């Protein structure tokens, strides 16, 4: 499998479907690459808003778009409730790490991974200074039937705390590994994946 389609989900809404190239795959998880300009599907939401601030019961059809940022490496450790993103500039200079607290379900053929975002995240600078992100939104969603219970919220935060210990200790994946990553020039942009039937809707 050379391409995996990442379905990013918040609550019951698919926010994005991104095709990512497999850099490494094994029993310990997946390492994926999202190149600048990658064609993708993105939820159609009102301008100036963020999906986290909209009602989870709303209808947000997917529209064709492209990845608007520099490249990103995404480590999805097997069995872990988080992913680590290495963010790069368009000139391929390392910018920061980003820890996304999440749960994942893989399709039987491995071609798709459905990632349910758990709202609470951690931003990490190149010198390993870190801080929590979206704590207020995480707290506001706790207890809502579409999101997570108070007990689940405690487990989500505990997963984040475990990752902060890795950051503080400067151990993998925060030890500088992959910060000098350069994708081979021979890698073309992947195609935009077909829109899954369950996620069909008006396409803008």
**Model pLDDT, residue 47:** 87
Q: Residue 154: in which H helix or E strand, if any?
A: helix 150-169
Q: Determine contact, residues 36/18, Cβ cutoff 8 Å.
A: no
**Model pLDDT, residue 204:** 35
162-204 tens-digit pLDDT: 999 999 999 999 999 999 999 999 999 999 999 987 554 433 3
Please name the residue that has the structure tokens 């758990």: 118
CA-to-CA distance for 182 and 45, rounded, in angstroms?
33
Query: Can you say how many angstroms the Cα of residue 100 is from the centroid of all Cα atoms in its chain?
Result: 6
**Model pLDDT, residue 25:** 95
Q: Determine contact, residues 74/20, Cβ cutoff 8 Å.
A: yes
**Model pLDDT, residue 203:** 39
Phi-psi region of 143 (alpha: psi -120 to 50; beta: other; left: phi over 0): left
**Model pLDDT, residue 56:** 84
User: What is the tally of helices (H) and strands (E) in the chain?
Assistant: 2, 10
Tell me the β-bridge partners of 66: 39
**Model pLDDT, residue 198:** 58
Least confident of 42-51, 81-90, 94-103, 121-130: 42-51
Structure tokens at 126: 């190149």
Read off the pLDDT of each residue in 59-72 and give the average, rounded to a whole number: 95
Check pLDDT > 90 for residue 52.
no
């Amino acid at each position: 499998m050379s391409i995996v389609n990442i379905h990013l989900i918040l609550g019951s809404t698919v926010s994005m479907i991104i095709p990512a190239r497999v850099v490494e795959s094994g029993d310990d998880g997946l390492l994926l690459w999202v190149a600048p300009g990658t064609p993708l599907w993105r939820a159609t939401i009102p301008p100036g808003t963020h999906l986290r601030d909209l009602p989870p019961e709303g209808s947000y059809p997917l529209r064709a778009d492209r990845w608007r940022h520099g490249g990103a490496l995404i480590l999805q450790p097997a069995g872990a409730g988080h992913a680590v993103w290495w963010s790069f500039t368009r000139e391929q200079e390392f910018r920061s790490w980003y820890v996304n607290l999440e749960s994942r379900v893989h399709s039987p053929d491995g071609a798709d991974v459905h990632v349910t975002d758990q709202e609470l995240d951690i931003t990490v600078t190149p010198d390993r200074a870190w801080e929590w992100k979206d704590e207020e939104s995480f707290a506001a969603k706790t207890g809502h039937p579409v999101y997570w219970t108070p007990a689940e919220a405690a487990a989500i935060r505990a997963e984040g705390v475990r990752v902060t210990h890795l950051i503080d200790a400067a151990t993998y994946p925060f030890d500088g590994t992959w910060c000098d990553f350069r994708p081979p020039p021979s890698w073309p942009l992947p195609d935009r994946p077909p829109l899954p039937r369950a996620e069909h809707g008006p396409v803008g």
